[in-house]
Amino acid sequence: MAADKGKPFTFSLPVSVVVLAIAYIYVSTVFVFIDRWLGLFSSPGIMNATVFTALAAVCVVTYRAAITTDPGRVPATYMPDVEDAESPIHEIKRKGGDLRYCQKCSHYKPPRAHHCRVCKRCVLRMDHHCIWINNCVGHANYKVFFNFVLYAVISCIYSLVLLVGSLAYDGIQDEEKIGKSSFRTVYVVSGLLLVPLSIALCVLFGWHICLVLHNKTTIEYHEGVRALWLAEKGGSIYKHPYDLGPYENLTSVLGPNILSWLWPSSNHIGSGLRYSTIYDLAKGSTSK
């Protein structure tokens, strides 16, 4: 069963802040930084304005998709089949060893699914609840969230480079023309916005690259730290069951076609009720 494609829109202050920030960065970059440094109607100005506009448009498209795409719901009829030979792994409760069951939703939880206290339901392959998209990041919208962060990083760094270039050019012009009007307030506000935002987004993007390469969610990373500690304490070796190797991990999250990695398509994701594991690989190798 595929996840619902849409999610009802509700007002969110953090989302409004992000939209205003995108609008401000776009306007200041195109109509101040590019215009004052290169000239908006010069060849370099037109080229940079076109490229930045395209980046901003992709940011808006991927951001909207991350907000409106339902991250994935557990079907009401879902029931784990412990006798299914095709599913060699069944996640169990840390206490008691029973199959994972959500008391709040009154149904069993598939592997990698978790209950979100904000959304008040279980989410397939839940990574985290993000206030900046007013939505959970999960099975159906993880890739579009990843794409949005990627394009946001590129856009912020690009805007920051144009800001520095424009500021340097403006400084030269101010020295040559005393009394020339300046956009100091725009530069200061943009700098205070872009520098911390670029750093935060780079850290976030780097974090999710690490997660994707190991096929983990943020929740699984924190659970894995404890599992690793317990395994080492017991003298055994812990390995994340969904870590299939860097390339397989990338294709399972971003899609089998490399050309589609940078576009928020999600035709490859499947139902979200079962994921390939290292046990599948081992079974495949023994069958050969």
Centre a 10 Å sphere on the Cβ of residue 200 and count the other Cβ atoms it contains: 13
| Amino acid symbol at 64 | R
Integer Cα distance of 150 and 209 in angstroms: 10
Catalytic residue from among 102, 105, 130, 202: 130
Is there a catalytic annotation at residue 119?
Answer: no
Which residue in this structure is represented by tokens 């812990």? 238
For tokens 């890739």, the residue is: 143
**Rounded CA separation 161/29 (Å):** 10
The secondary structure of 151-211 as a DSSP string is HHHHHHHHHHHHHHHHHHHHHHHHHHSTT----HHHHHHHHHHHHHHHHHHHHHHHHHHHH
Tell me which residues are annotated as active site. Answer: 130
